[in-house]
Amino acid sequence: MKKGRSLFLVAIIVALVFLLNISCKSLKYSNLKANFYFKKANAKYEEEDYSAAAKFYTEVIKADPDFIAAYFYLGSCYQQVFKPGLPFDKDLVLKIGNTLDKIKDLNLLKETVKKINLINDYEELKKFAENLKVPEETIEEKKEANTEEKKEVTEENAEGKKIEGKTEEQTNKINKEGTKEEEGSVEEEKSENPTDEKVEAIIKKWEEEKKAEEAKKKAEEEAKKRAKRSLVVTEQPTQKPEKKEEEKPQQPQQLNPQQKKLMVKNTLRAVKALANTILIKYYDTATLDSTLALADLYDKLGIFDKAEKYYLEILKAYKTNKAYYVISDFYSKYGKNDKAIEYLNKAIKMNPNDPDGYLYLAKFYSESMGKYDEAIKAVEQMINLIEKDPNADNHKKAVAYYWLGFYSWVKSFRKKYMPPDERAKIVNKGMDALMKAIELDPKYPEPYAYVNLLYREKIKVNPAKKKEYLAKAKEYVDKFQELYKRLQERQKLAKELEKQK
């Protein structure tokens, strides 16, 4: 009898060991599979093939739903492929986003986001949204937590004056610190915030992307000009962006089959971008990245209130002049000029010696207000600061003078009716600034492009010299294209070298 029991126990132990061994192998295989697809996804992401990257990142979370980095990159991929100019189901995106925001159980949220990533059919997504609700347990838990908090407060208040005294001291301390924060330097703020370096990199990346986009637009415009026979500028450059309106209910519209197909794709992209980014914000390692990503995404979706909420959250963690520039730029896009100038002034007040503040101010005056003289004055203030800076190199100075030439051209080009003497004065001012930029950095392409454009403005002052000015304009536009081509080749080589590291 005892022997039979012993054999039975041995059989159970062997079975458990076998099952444990199988589960471990399965776990190892799932990890290997996830890592395999993650590497493939990263390669596509670096190549900026975001659609292909998204497919591989989806395979990662299929193999390992706890692979958090994959959700981060999925959100980024879908944000890149979402097209703001194409139609999408805004109501569906908002409904899913608002519901996900209310789910506080991280495991449940992760499982829900995983399911969304696996949906590739619009009708299936709509059904999923209809059934997607905040669990009652979560709501009840929240109520219980609030009740407990109230009890704790009541118990603490019953203890007497000691707590009140401490509270008063803490309040006074907070008020004093708040006053110091307003009066103190930016350096003190940075030392208190350990995340400053990370967010500095985020803001820097945002600025670099914006500059790259502007350079690309300029290059495309120059290519169009060259293609024209007469090489005469006939199109007005898109300098003032369209003002986005605040949230408004979308009017139902009839879409043709092609438009509907695009709407379906765009809606799936928007929902997945939003779902993955909402999940990531709950992980401390990516909080600031995801906050900025959510702000940018809601901005792209044209959902002003949500975008504003997350942009302002950035300030809570990163109250510096760079963050104020981002918020100001956001408000100016929506035509909220009072708010835009308010945050610009805060940025300049916080660091009056930062030349970038006056450049942002110039852009705001020119693009949002049409006040070209104020824009030119702001650039001149920037130049004064840079000229006084002993660490400013020739390229930095060249860029400053380029902007003076640029806004001088903008004023002449935009104002159709201007006395000849006034136009000649502003054109000469711009030409002098651009020639100074070329002298400081002869390999800097942009000034050559705008010398070309200012020669065309000279024709308005003295039409008799049209042939001479057009010949000069062509000379400078050819030089611009030559330098810009070399710049692109250098950038391409730098990318190739970076990949080989």
Q: Give the model confidence (pLDDT) of 274-305 as tens digits.
A: 999 999 888 754 456 678 888 888 998 889 99
pLDDT at 158 over 60: no
pLDDT of residue 374: 95
Q: Could you write out the three-class secondary structure of 449-481? A: HHHHHHHHHHHHHCHHHHHHHHHHHHHHHHHHH
pLDDT at 172 over 50: no
pLDDT at 217 over 70: no
State the pLDDT confidence band at 221, using cuts at 50, 70 and 90.
low
| From 99-103, 393-397, 484-488, 490-494, the region with the lowest mean pLDDT | 490-494
pLDDT at 233 over 90: no
| From 237-246, 400-409, 456-465, the region with the lowest mean pLDDT | 237-246
pLDDT at 193 over 90: no
- The single-letter DSSP state of residue 242 is P
Taking the C-alpha atoms of residue 56 and residue 37, their distance in angstroms, rounded to an integer, is 6
Taking the C-alpha atoms of residue 88 and residue 97, their distance in angstroms, rounded to an integer, is 14
The model's pLDDT over 244-262, given as tens digits with 9 standing for 90+, comes to: 445 444 455 577 888 888 9
The model's pLDDT over 317-341, given as tens digits with 9 standing for 90+, comes to: 778 888 899 899 999 989 999 999 9
DSSP per-residue string spanning 301-323? HT-HHHHHHHHHHHHHH--SHHH
Domain boundaries defined on the chain: 393-501
Longest Cα–Cα distance in the chain: 120
pLDDT at 467 over 90: yes
State the pLDDT confidence band at 314, using cuts at 50, 70 and 90.
confident
pLDDT of residue 323: 87
Backbone angles phi, psi at 263, to 5 degrees: -60, -45
State mean pLDDT over 159-186: 41
**Angle of the 321-333 helix axis to the 337-350 helix axis, nearest 10:** 170
| From 52-61, 274-283, 417-426, the region with the lowest mean pLDDT | 274-283
| From 5-19, 67-81, 289-303, the region with the lowest mean pLDDT | 5-19
Taking the C-alpha atoms of residue 358 and residue 383, their distance in angstroms, rounded to an integer, is 9
Taking the C-alpha atoms of residue 413 and residue 390, their distance in angstroms, rounded to an integer, is 35
Q: For residues 196 and 190, is the Cβ–Cβ distance under 8 A?
A: yes
Exposure class string for 177-188: b at 16+ Cβ within 10 A, else e: eeeeeeeeeeee
Residue 478, C-beta contacts closer than 8 angstroms, at least 6 positions apart: none
State mean pLDDT over 405-427: 94
pLDDT at 501 over 90: no
Of residues 152 and 291, more confidence is placed in 291
Q: Is 393-501 a domain of CATH 3.40.50?
A: no
State mean pLDDT over 475-498: 86
